[in-house]
Structure 1
Amino acid sequence: MATGGVPAKASSVMYFYGRITREEAEIILKERGCREGLFLLRESINPLGNYAISICHNNEVYHYSIEKQIDGSFMIPQGQKFTGPIELISHHKNKLDGFVTKPTVECDRLPCQTPVAFRGMTYMDLENELVKKAETIKNADMNKALGSHREHLVTMVSKQLHEKQPWYHGKIGREEAEKRLQKSGHSNGKFIIRLRDDKKTFALSLSHNNQTRHYIVEKQGDGKLAIQDGPKFECVIMLVDHYHNKQDGLLCKLSTPCCCPGYDKKKYQKYLENASDNLAYLTYKDLKGRQASQRNGTPVSPTGPPGRRLSSVNRANIPLPSVPKPDPNEPVHPAPLPPGHHDRHPLEAATNGFENHMGGRPRNGDAMEEIYSQLPRTKDAFELKEKQIEIEDELGSGQFGSVRKGVVNMRDGKRVPVAIKMLKNQDIQPGCEPEILKEARLMRELSHKYIVRMIGLCKAKSIMLVLELAALGPLNSYLKYQRLPQWNIVELMMQVSKGMQYLESKKFVHRDLAARNVLMVSEHFAKISDFGMSKALQMDSNYYEASQAGKWPLKWYAPECVYYWKFDSKSDVWSYGITLWEATSYGQRPYGKMKAQEILQFVVEENQRLPKPEMCDEDVYQVMLLCWMYEKEDRPNFSEISNKMEVLYQKLRSLS
């Protein structure tokens, strides 16, 4: 039950920083020494009304979501309810209750700093706007308006805030927007928001590579705003704030506004001071030094007033948050907040618009599987015309070319979200194209729950392989952001073993099984990808000729693959063991920085194997060791592995 009483305002405490990102929180905490129990509170970027606590433990930063419930209370996942985030933190200062450590050391803002509301706007500015709005509402209860009803009031106010921003140019056409961007000087990420002719929707005009690109910001059925297939927002200013933090299908992130003609220069300067580079604030040392200089009467360098955000740090150089190592004596749940939860996982954007394409909301993996499993697998349906395919955002790139999100318009009228592999022309060696087409058509016959099915093939300017969309991306990348419990990882790897068992039964050898080729459909659903294409593209010799092991899959190859160039299902078993090691070590690189010859000496000459990952169950590690038997006849087949993994999953699940 939630504790009673009127909750304290988040803005009333000095350890509240407003709407900053998890990366910014990590920079601030590490700058302050990352001492045990050091913490700050921040408002979630999305959705509105939620918070997150970022806390230091063992020189790492953990993030926990504080979610607002339907009854108005706040709680961390699987935690107790409290009237507000301040009350929740006060409780955890005395009791762990699932936290990795107690939040005992407040990481306070300096007196000159105010929490961030939106880019270019402080929390104080927003509170003033809220008060103004509340005073205009007839018979409004100010305590409720600024308290329990605050999120509703913020939404009301925020819907007009764009009109006061330097990047909003009102109702102008695309040609005028292009002229204004050209005149102000193109730079990647410079942008304009403009009102369209219907006076209800907007457009984003974005500078990229000295050209202007335009994106329509449409109003959805629920009244929210979104760029096509992008996340939805209550208002324009939230949309702009989001695309400063996340690229999400744009050619680049938003950076600086193209200032509207006639905009007040002082207001524009203030905006820039509170928005530069989207990093939280000047460094703690810089601010302390500035204050000391002011006390001593030393002139302050003209870099802006105290409270200005960092402008000297290149956001592209900020390291991604390191993977925290939890205390084995503390429970795993509730899980630290991954970017996919409120701050959004980097590949989560690929699922946006799925409900629009399918006419419903099939968000979970089983619902998506039902859709894909029922698609026709006939030759006619498989041979796709270029006009059937709508190519959208890039999801990534790899050895087989770029991967784009898209939609296939099936002959029966269905619009199906897909991933499209655009094969690089330079990687298709002379004479290989017929082999690629042959291999792709063979893959048409393969259909299993735990493999990424090939939906179709299109031979246009480049060869396009149209596949199921597994939108959360590669397993190794996912685990670096999402700290899943070990039973959940074993669940996913059990699914991989079942998929490999199916391929084994079809006499199909993968040849490149690795965590990067296991794609996440959901937290509890994984599929194997990229089987067959290494053979079709004749990439194997290229791998072997590479100078560094990091650029070719020797780390995943069985000894007979390296020495005798022999591949079969038992060599895939060896690769499965390496993939299992990657998963249970949360995406670490096997063999670290060892070079090719060092790996061969370690594995073959010294008969050594990778050590057990820290959090891995001993019985799971024994499965790896069986997969790494030198003689392939001594390794289990995938049917045996699948049975073992299912037993281990049930065991670990029951103990969680």
Structure 2
Amino acid sequence: MASNGTYPVKPSTVPYFYGRITRDEAEEILKDRHSVEGMFLLRESINPLGNYAISVCHAEKVHHYSIEKQTDGMYMIPSGKKFIGPVELIVHHTVNKDGIITLLREGCERLDNQVPVAFRGMTYNDLEKELVAKVDSIRGVNKEKAFGTQREHLVIMVAKNLHTKQPWYHGKINRTESENRIKKAGHKDGKFLVRQRDDKKTFAVCISFKQETRHYLIDKDGNNKFGIQDGPKFDCVMMLIDHYHNKQDGLLCKLTEPCPSPGFDVAQLDRYMSCNCYPEYFSIQNVQRRPSRPTVPAPPTPVPPVSSNPPPVPAIGKRKSLKEAMTQNSLHRPLPQPPAEEQPAWLKSGDWEGTTPARHHEPFDSRRITIKGLGMDANELECIYGSVPRTIAHFDLKRSQIELEEELGAGQFGSVCKGMCTLRSGQKIHVAVKTLKQEDLPAADQEPELIKEAKVMMPLSHKHIVRMIGVCKAESIMLVLELAPLGQLNSYLQKNKGMSHHNIVELLWQVAMGMEYLESMKFVHRDLAARNVLLVSEHFAKISDFGMSKALCLDNNYYEAKESGKWPLKWYAPECVYFWKFDSKSDVWSYGVTMWEATSYGERPYRKMKGQEVIKFLVDDKQRLAQPDLCDDEVYKVMLRCWEFDKHLRPSFHDLALAMGNIYRRLSKESSS
């Protein structure tokens, strides 16, 4: 921390930070972006913990500069100046060479759905959750210090047990069993597993090499450091394995892929493998790149080197509130216009109210499909969908792979059918199929909305998000999705008024966890509502309908709409209506409305109020939706926090997931007592 009280910018929050990767991997990533002069990235050192490095392009070569943490907590390159953090150091070197071969001109940004990697198969988002959980479990801990000056110590504390959650850790098995497991999984140079030895203190890493299994003892020395004979020492097994993924260091070969332990979650294994090979994970070939834009490689306010007389913190002018902006007539964009009176009846209360026009079809009837009818339970369905490979090749489906069955409903895109999809492996799975009719296809130079939705959904995988299975372009465009047999949450609750309140809170908790994932992936949903929460079972919810979702720009963390539309206004925060800007905090407002819908058993929010009346109610009168009759007081308090006028006062989805989880556990305990 600087002497003027300024906090350093966390490296994981800037788009050019890649996490713990090697210099060779950094070079491959930069070469993939054509080694532009002055292009750079920031990475965390493999060892020791807490140090960083800059990799920068000059004259078509990549140069590396270590950023070492000093005993006073400051950071510097060799013979350079001290800064409070690596990001602040980079800001300085965008305008001053000061020992670096060229100015840092352009940050080599990660792609929209890529997250910095903390360890092999583990992102920084995953690690942050583990760190938060650890701090929360320690009574009386100083959180500011834990996540600040003592962060490296906290990481080591957490990492000591991380190996038990990895696919390559098999627990206490003997040498023969480890060899049998690798043989059964198929020999491949570098395939490995880790087992605990009989003394329960040491381990062994078992590696496939030339169709045989070789065993290396992982011993612990007097300083509680782990290492292989004559190799470097590490604070934990997790860091040791990470090192040998990157360097051979006396082994017959580098570690390449895990031999998964029996019963390890298939979806988790796929996720582990997706970010296991770093250059491939960060390659622009594997993910559609966002449109190029000028890169601002650092925070807006550069932090100068620390000196004996630090400059004063500049004053920040107070921003106008939305209310002030309104009264001063500074709003240049009108409210989205409501449908004209002469339009069809369904449109009068259609998208303006958050519903989807039925187009002469009955709405989705969740009673047509049951879990029992599918012959499996919710967990079985989740295991099946979670195991579907998430690669571009698997997403490209042929018409022969899809069998359409009964129609479930229809909307502005076409229709939704129940169906069966045959995967490349030959496995048949139940699916929902959205179709876009041929007459609704746009001009040749325009991209169908259904394809845009597919591109949004392709990289997303979470148990509380409806996953995309694939896209088929045949007689019509088909978007193939997971099937949620019980349908929309609002419709289900309207027909099942007997569902317990703590059951509803359980579903809302799951929605918060799904939205926390979207937030971490830099996605804004823009249409979160009870109609877009689908039920796999009474105890399993998934967020759906990503037709309005947008990837957030990493430099400003919000999405700005370019034109108005028939938006679901009653679910929108005031800043969305007036400024057309959407971010995760506007999704939080929508989550509050979704909570209200669910706890009122599917009632319509604001009832018969029209758009301008809703805005007057919220902004001028400073009113909020009333507490539903059967709603728990603590749940309503969470809603009110979601509806804070100043979005900066609203909780994050991480906070909401924690709060709703705590409330659910309390209500469950009360209901069983």
TM-score, length of structure 2 as denominator length: 0.43
